[in-house]
A and B are shown apart, each in its own frame.
Chain A
Amino acid sequence: MSASLIAHAQSLAAELRARRDVLCARYAALGGIALGTARADATATATLVGPRVGSLAVYWVRPTTSWCVLRAAAACGEATRVLDRTMPDPSACSAPPQ
């Protein structure tokens, strides 16, 4: 019984940690997109959205000349999330990172 309880408790704790990391990365990526423009320093950007965020890279991606995407890649612990936003104006990709 006690071995099973310890195993289940450890498994639950690991799952809770994983879930916390996933949610952290998910909302950090959303926060990165909300910043609205590319950022030069991923570590400094991470501090803007939360103390648990390991890194938050926000940068421009230009798949084609008429398509500009703002991409936010966030990492919290073991979890990562990448979120794209197609910009209404393709020339947005020309803006330098802040």
Chain B
Amino acid sequence: MATLVEAAAAVSVAGAILLLVTTALAASARIDALCASVGAELVTDRQLEQLLDRASLASGAGPAHPPAISSLSADTVVFGSDQNGDGVVDTTSSETTALEVRMGSGTTSVRVRLGRQTMTVLDAGDDVASVAGLDRYGNATAAASARLVELTLIPTGDDAGATRTMLFTVPMRMFQ
């Protein structure tokens, strides 16, 4: 009888340990996947911020004070600057840069255009993406009075989750 009780106790302890190990392994796998996905998301965000900072932070520079944002629509914002001081915003060089959202064939991409070069910096899958200009009160506004540029990504479909927004400053407008 005593042996049976001991055996049952041993099986119970072994079962509990097995359950703990299994739970720990499952948690570990979830944390592993989360670390990988959050890390990848942060890298993408930082890359996009860095590339767009090059455009937005320099916009409006130049002795003739060119418009910082030359055009703005729901899918494109175009920044301008006169970096060599010749009085002209060159549309074929990095004096003209743009943030573009393009949707086609069920996929959305966020692109940065530097002069005549365009690169996709974010493949947003089936998310809905848009661009807007915000005034000093956070209201949507036109190119001439935008102080912030907002990129919004709204997840749809199976992975629908929280809406992501990224804001980019237009420094030349900060002190006006």
Question: Which residues of A line the B interface, CB within 8 A?
Answer: 1-2, 4-5, 8-9, 11-12, 15-16, 18-19, 22, 26, 30, 33-34, 36, 63-64, 66-67, 69, 81, 83-86, 88, 90
**Interface 0/1 of B36-50, CB less than 8 Å to A:** 101100110110011
Known contacts being A33-B171, A83-B171, A85-B171, is A8 close to B39, with CB within 8 Å? yes
Enumerate chain B residues within 8 angstroms of A83, measured Cβ to Cβ: 57, 171
Q: For chain B, which range describes its interface: under 10, 10 to 19, 20 to 34, or 35 or more residues? A: 20 to 34
Enumerate chain B residues within 8 angstroms of A11, measured Cβ to Cβ: 35, 39
In the complex, what distance in Å separates the CA atom of A77 from the CA atom of B69?
32
For chain A, what secondary structure do more than half of its interface residues adopt (helix, strand, loop), or is it mixed? helix
Is A22 in contact with B63, judged by CB distance below 8 angstroms? no
Is A67 in contact with B63, judged by CB distance below 8 angstroms? yes
Is A67 in contact with B58, judged by CB distance below 8 angstroms? no
Judge if B28 is at the interface, Cβ distance under 8 Å: yes
With both beta carbons as reference points, the residue of chain A lying nearest to B36 in the complex is identified as A8
Is B32 in contact with A15, judged by CB distance below 8 angstroms? no
Some 8 contacts from A to B, beta carbons below 8 A apart, are A1-B25, A30-B169, A36-B175, A63-B85, A81-B53, A84-B57, A84-B58, A88-B65
Known contacts being A64-B85, A67-B85, is A5 close to B28, with CB within 8 Å? yes
Enumerate chain B residues within 8 angstroms of A36, measured Cβ to Cβ: 175
